[in-house]
Structure 1
C-alpha cells in the first residue's frame, strides 16, 4: 500500500488501482469461502475453484437481470492473477498518461462509461447467442473484467499520440500507435474463430466502437482558451473531437479506406438523421484540428522532458562510475 501513496502516482491511477484491488480481493475471498463451504457439505464433491461464480459481483448472463449492478462491478472483477496483473498495468500506464490531458475525473468517467456499456452489450449478445444455440452451459460463464476497457485506452492513445512509434526488441518490432487497434482486433477475432467463442472478440470490438463514439461525439472537456472560437460559441467546453486525424476510417489500413469511407459516411448521415449525434460544421472541425496539433506539441514537450531527465540520470551514473574508479585507483597507489 505504500506504493499507492507515492507522490508520482496520479489520482486516477490510485483510485482505479484501489477499486481493482478491492473488487478482485473481495471476489477471491467470497469464492474461497464458497469453496470451503461446498467441501464441508460434501468432502467427496469435486469442486473447481475456478468454476465458482459470485453472481452479485461477476457478470453472469444467467443472473445479470437479477444483479444489474454487476455491469459496473464486473469491470474490476478479475478471476486470475495474470489478468489482475495485466489489468493493473493497463490501468496504471493508461490513466497516468491520459490524466495529463483530461484530469482525473474524466479518466474515471471514461472507464466507467466504456466499461459498463461494453459489459451491457456483451452480456445481451451472450444471452441471445446462447439462446439461439440452446447452450445453457455458457449462460453461467463469467464475462467482464479489464477487457471492457483495454481497447478504450488504445482508442485514446490513437487520439492523443497517433504518430508515436513503439519499438520492441531493439527494432525488430516497430509500429505506430494508430495501427495497433486494428491489428489487435484482427488477432482477437482470429483467436475467437479458432476456438469457436464470442470471447474475447465481441467485448473487444464493442469496447473499440463505444470508445470511439464517446470520444468523437459525446465527451465534454474544458476548452483551451488559446484555440480559435466564435464569439457566439460557448468557449468553456468542447464536445467531442471532430479532427480529421480522428475519423473512424483512420483506424484502418490505407488499402481499406476507399471502401470503408462511403460506408462510414452513410452511417454518419443516418445517425444525424435519427438525431443520435450532432453534425460537425467547418468551424468545429478546424478547431478540433488545431487542438490535435496542440496535443501533439504537448506530447513532444513531454517526450523531450522525459528524454532530458533520462539523459541527466545517465550522466550522473556515468560520473559516479568514473569517480568510483578514480577513488579505487588512488587507493591502490
Structure 2
C-alpha cells in the first residue's frame, strides 16, 4: 500500500479551497475570454469598484490563483508551511493566524487603491484585481523567522548561505520584479508589503505564547515575542539595521501613545530570554539567536513532558481507585490433624514436582562439589 499523506485539517481545507476556486476562476475566464477585453470576476476576486456587494471576497480572493505557475508555488508553500506551522501552534491558532494575515492585507490594499484613485482619478486602480496567496506566503516566512531565527539555508552547494530572517525581504524583491511582467499586478506588491507588516505585528505583539514553565512570577498567558531576534530590524541587512531600528522605535512609541500597542514588561523580556533574572542576561548578547532557538525547543519539550506526567498520573490514579480482588482465606486447621481434603493436595504437589523434574531434567547445586566453574 502507498504511504498515507498526513495533512492537518486546516491545511487540508486550505489546499482544497485553493484548488477549487482556482479551477473555477480559470473555467470562467476560459468561457468568457475575448481578445479585446479583461475579464474580472467580482464575486470571487476582490475588485475595489465592483466587489463591495460581495463582502466575502475580502477572504475568498486570497485563495484564487490566476495561472499555473503561481498556483503551483502556492500549493507547495501552503502544503509545507501549513503542515509545519499547524503542528507547531495547533489548528486553532494557525486558523486565527491565516484569518488575520488574509483579511487585513486585502483590506489595506483595498483602501490604498481607493486612495490612489482619489488622487489620480485613474479608474485602473479601482478595477485592479486583488487576489492571490502572496500575503499568506510572506506570512509563513515571517513565522519561520520567529520559530527558527538561527537557522541557515544553504543554496547552490554552499555558494549562498542565508539566515531565515533574510527571506521576507528577498520575497518582496522577487514579487516587485514579477510585477513588471504580466504575471503579477501592482496589487501583488502591496499585498506582500502589508502581509509582512501584518504578520510581524500580530506575532510580535498579539499572538498568545506558552509561558516559561519554570517561572512562577510570570502571568499564566503571555502575548507577543519580545526577543531581539524577532525585532523588525532583523529582517534587514546589518548596515541598515540602526536606521530601521530608530524608525520602528518611533512608530512603536506612537502606537503605544495611541493605545494600539502595549509596551513590553519585564516579564515579557524575561520570557523572551527564557530566564527569571535580569542581571546575568543582556539583550543582544553574543549567541542570542542560538539561545533563542534552544529556549523555544526547551519550552516545547517541557510542555510535552508535563502532558506525559499528567497522563501517567491519571493512569496511576485509576489503578489505585480500582477495587482489590477478594482475598482467599485458607481452610482452618482441624484440632485432630489435617483433613481428608487437605492430604491429597500435598501428595499432588509432590507428584507434580517429581514429574516436572523428570520432564525438564534435573539440576543439582553442590557448593562443595568439583564441577566445572569456568562459566559464572
How does the TM-score come out when normalised to structure 1?
0.76
The aligned runs of 1:1-333 (5 Å cut-off) are 6-35=4-33, 46=35, 51-189=38-176, 198-221=186-209, 223-224=210-211, 226-230=213-217, 233=219, 235=220, 237-290=221-274, 293-296=294-297
Q: Return closer, same or farther for 1:241/1:225 CA change in 2, 3 Å cut-off.
A: closer
Local SS of the residue matching 2:167: helix
Contact map agreement 2:150 2:163 (CA 8 A) in 1 = yes
Q: Return closer, same or farther for 1:249/1:23 CA change in 2, 3 Å cut-off.
A: same
- Please, which runs of 5 or more residues in structure 1 have no aligned partner? 36-44, 301-333
Cα distance in 1 for residues equivalent to 2:166 and 2:109: 25
Cα distance in 1 for residues equivalent to 2:99 and 2:52: 19
How does the TM-score come out when normalised to structure 2?
0.68
The offset of 1:187, in angstroms, is 4.6
Cα distance in 1 for residues equivalent to 2:5 and 2:173: 39
Q: Return closer, same or farther for 1:34/1:270 CA change in 2, 3 Å cut-off.
A: same
- Please, which runs of 5 or more residues in structure 2 have no aligned partner? 275-291, 302-376
Cα distance in 1 for residues equivalent to 2:173 and 2:152: 20
- 2:368 paired residue number: none
- Deviations along 1:148-200, one digit per CA (max 9) or x if unpaired, are 21110111011011121112222233211111122333454466589997343
Contact map agreement 2:116 2:125 (CA 8 A) in 1 = no
Q: Which has the larger radius of gyration?
A: 2
The offset of 1:204, in angstroms, is 0.8
The offset of 1:73, in angstroms, is 0.5
- Deviations along 1:78-130, one digit per CA (max 9) or x if unpaired, are 11111111111110111111123201222122112111110111122122223
The structure whose residues are more often helix, as a share, is 1
